[in-house]
Copies of this chain bind each other. A is one copy, B any other.
Amino acid sequence: MRNILIVGSGKSSSYLVKYLLDKSESDDLFITIGDINTTNAEKLIQNHKRAKAVVLDVFDEESRSSAIEKADIVISMLPARFHMEVAKDCLRFSKHLVTASYVSEEMKALDQQVREKGLVFMNEIGVDPGIDHMSAMQVIDRIRSMGGKIILFESFTGGLVAPESDNNLWNYKFTWNPRNVVVAGQGGAAKFLQEGTYKYVPYHRLFRRTEFLDVEGYGRFEAYANRDSLKYQYEYGLDAVKTLYRGTIRRVGFSRAWNLFVQLGMTDDGYVLEHSENMSYRDFVNSFLPYSPTDSVELKFRHQLNIDQDDIIWDKFEELDIFSSKKKVGLKDATPAQVLQKILMDSWTLTAEDKDMIVMYHIFGYELDGKKHQIDSTMVTLGEDQTYTAMAKTVGLPVAMAALDILKGKIKTPGVQIPITKEIYEPILKELSESGIKFIEKDVQYFGYNPLNI
């Protein structure tokens, strides 16, 4: 029997657990889910005889190491900052490890030891990062095998609300950690490459430098740049690339409105507002606007942000009820970002019936036989309900598949790694496609940023 230990059983574990339970008989698996609180784990297991939930505090060495020692492979679904506790024990007891998180410097530093023990520490194998790596490298490798040279690569992902549940003016709801949405883009300028020129966008301009994307059957989206697109140049081996851009997808109009929060300073998570507990939503907004004995908060908001009286952006803010003097913040020593999150959660929390959606869009530009070509590749996944979400599916399935492939020896190259080699992506993308996570590719006319080649 192969023992799989899953550490952490949060929102993104539903499909992961279901997939492994479905394979537990045929592949002779036993799944142990460790969490501080086992309620959700027990709900996911539903008394399955090949699984159990155990109390596991990742900072309690005793319970952590004894659980890891018993496993053949460990899947860490904890927040990224907690992976290292698990990783060190995996190394100590010679166990493989799978995470959906970015490889940290600390994790990378284990590479040599992991190789020496012949272990696989697979990271960035969720949706973004994860499915994006695999689906991009599959096309990139194919273009290369034909003798083509990649000159442009753009990649966009968004976690959104499904069209049938898309019923507010922002065309957005929180389908993932709301805090990450509120502070998205902070912590340094975005960097990317356009036609050979390095471009830098500070946070306060990020939401005004968007691009449009059309997805057949789903209409138009927009995207703003993710942090550092340049690191993918090295990882994907895109030496000759002239354009490299990674972005986050939203529905059209979201970024222009979100920018107003950024402009006012409402997304700042770096200081605490005086007397935040007793503030009304209106007080909160007013604290970012100049004092006036006569003018209303509404007029000051319009004036500071240049909102014409007939601009439809206005309705988005009214919908959030941010000018209410009755609704109270009720959070002690809160940062602006925390208050904004609270206000947005009033309006953007998914209801029991709501479904989510993951959208991914890659653009590949390449030269072959002296001509320029372009492939657009898109993937849309819809959630089924509030447990079996599109987010949980696209994060959990590749994690589960990778874990099984490592156990079966299909993935065997040792080291701390990300899924960018054929050995990894071919079987997983095929299986994902069978589970409905499919990319639609189109050959289109090469466009780039200099279509007339001036």
Contacts and interface: CB of A to CB of B under 8 A. Distances in A.
Interface string A201-235: 11011000100000000000000000000100000
Contacts of A93: none
Q: Taking the full assembly, how many copies of this chain does it contain?
A: 2
B200 A273 contact: yes
A37 interface: no
A271 B200 CA distance: 10
A330 interface: no
A264 B197 CA distance: 16
A350 to B, nearest CB: 30
Interface string A289-332: 11111100000000000000000000000000000000000000
Given A265-B189, A290-B194, A202 B204 contact: yes
Given A268-B189, A271-B188, A291 B194 contact: yes
A163 to B, nearest CB: 30
Contacts of A197: 286-287, 291
Q: Among the interface residues A263, A265, A450, A452, which one has the most CB atoms of the partner chain B within 10 A?
A: A265
Interface residues of A, number: 39
A201 B265 contact: yes
Q: Which of A202, A209, A268, A293 has the most CB of B within 10 A?
A: A202
The residue in A189, A270, A273, A453 that gathers the most chain B C-beta atoms within 10 A of its C-beta is A189
Given A200-B265, A291-B450, A294-B454, 13 more contacts: A188-B271, A189-B268, A194-B291, A195-B291, A195-B293, A199-B288, A199-B289, A199-B291, A200-B268, A200-B336, A202-B204, A205-B263, A293-B453
A198 interface: yes
A109 to B, nearest CB: 23
A274 interface: yes
Given A189-B270, A205-B265, A265-B189, A290 B199 contact: yes
A200 B294 CA distance: 20
Contacts of A454: 293-294
Interface string A88-118: 0000000000000000000000000000000
Given A189-B268, A205-B265, A200 B287 contact: yes
Nearest to A275: B198
Interface of A: 188-189, 191, 194-195, 197-202, 204-205, 209, 230, 263-265, 268, 270-271, 273-275, 286-294, 336, 449-450, 452-454
A200 B197 CA distance: 36
A183 to B, nearest CB: 14
Given A293-B450, A454-B293, A198 B274 contact: yes
Contacts of A453: 293
Contacts of A291: 194-195, 197, 199, 449-450
B293 A198 contact: no
A200 B289 CA distance: 8
B205 A273 contact: no
A415 to B, nearest CB: 28
A199 B284 CA distance: 10
Contacts of A293: 195, 449-450, 452-454
